[in-house]
A and B are shown apart, each in its own frame.
Chain A
Amino acid sequence: GAVVSQHPSRVICKSGTSVKIECRSLDFQATTMFWYRQFPKQSLMLMATSNEGSKATYEQGVEKDKFLINHASLTLSTLTVTSAHPEDSSFYICSARDYRAGNEKLFFGSGTQLSVL
């Protein structure tokens, strides 16, 4: 099945630093990837839709200057949390849809646990 790779799996950083999270589709091309955030014991909340070669679409309440998304190729999207603060500590998950052979399932990366001290 389709594979989505996300790196790193865990990050601990100081307040004020920036953190980059990578999401790769390993065996298919993903023109669109989705970034979700999940707080403890809560569901996945969509942050933004990453479009290859164009600007990302952010959900209401998500600061685009704080969560920079770049989708420079058909297999890679990156999320950069700029000037991270403790309230940004969360589990971040990327996902992509594999449309080959009519497959519309959404596949997830393994997630990144961000802890900002």
Chain B
Amino acid sequence: EDKVVQSPLSLVVHEGDTVTLNCSYEVTNFRSLLWYKQEKKAPTFLFMLTSSGIEKKSGRLSSILDKKELFSILNITATQTGDSAVYLCAVTFSGNTPLVFGKGTRLSVIA
């Protein structure tokens, strides 16, 4: 059975802290790994990772994939209260198949 496991499930940090969110997977026919941020409504896309070792960066957020060890991390530096959300990791497969999501990490950034 395909599995996507995120850790930690929840995290509380202070503004300015740096956080690392983890996502490991055990799937067949892996194609890519995606990170989403979900606040009150639908998830918004952050990154798509297909190749190992290549860091993707957007502002204070960055992510990298390790296809040998089957995991990805999402880093957020200098956190702000607006970063408070659930961060979802999902995996896609070959073909037009749906994503399999992890349970998410609920990040709370307090002032």
Chain A contact residues, CB within 8 Å of chain B: 6, 9, 31-32, 34, 41-46, 49, 93, 95, 97, 104-111
Nearest-neighbor residue (CB-CB) of B6 within chain A:
A43
Q: Is the CB of B88 within 8 A of A110?
A: no
Taking residues whose C-beta sits less than 8 angstroms from the other chain, chain B's interface range is 20 to 34
Cα A45 to Cα B90 in complex, Å, equals 11
- Say if the beta carbon of B72 comes within 8 Å of chain A: no
User: Given contacts A107-B45, A111-B42, is CB(A43)–CB(B102) below 8 Å?
Assistant: yes
Q: Is the CB of A111 within 8 A of B102?
A: no
- Say if the beta carbon of B99 comes within 8 Å of chain A: yes
Which chain A residues border B106 with CB–CB below 8 Å? 41
Q: Is the CB of A44 within 8 A of B88?
A: yes
Q: Is the CB of B41 within 8 A of A43?
A: no
Q: Is the CB of A109 within 8 A of B42?
A: yes
Which chain A residues border B100 with CB–CB below 8 Å? 46
- Say if the beta carbon of B63 comes within 8 Å of chain A: no
- Say if the beta carbon of B82 comes within 8 Å of chain A: no
Q: Is the CB of B43 within 8 A of A44?
A: yes
Q: Is the CB of B98 within 8 A of A105?
A: no
Q: Is the CB of B104 within 8 A of A43?
A: yes
Q: Is the CB of B103 within 8 A of A43?
A: yes
Partner of B99, one of A32, A42, A106, A111: A106
Cα A104 to Cα B90 in complex, Å, equals 13
12 additional A-B pairs beyond A105-B45, A111-B42, beta carbons within 8 Å, are A9-B41, A32-B96, A43-B103, A44-B88, A44-B101, A45-B101, A46-B98, A49-B98, A93-B43, A105-B34, A106-B45, A106-B92
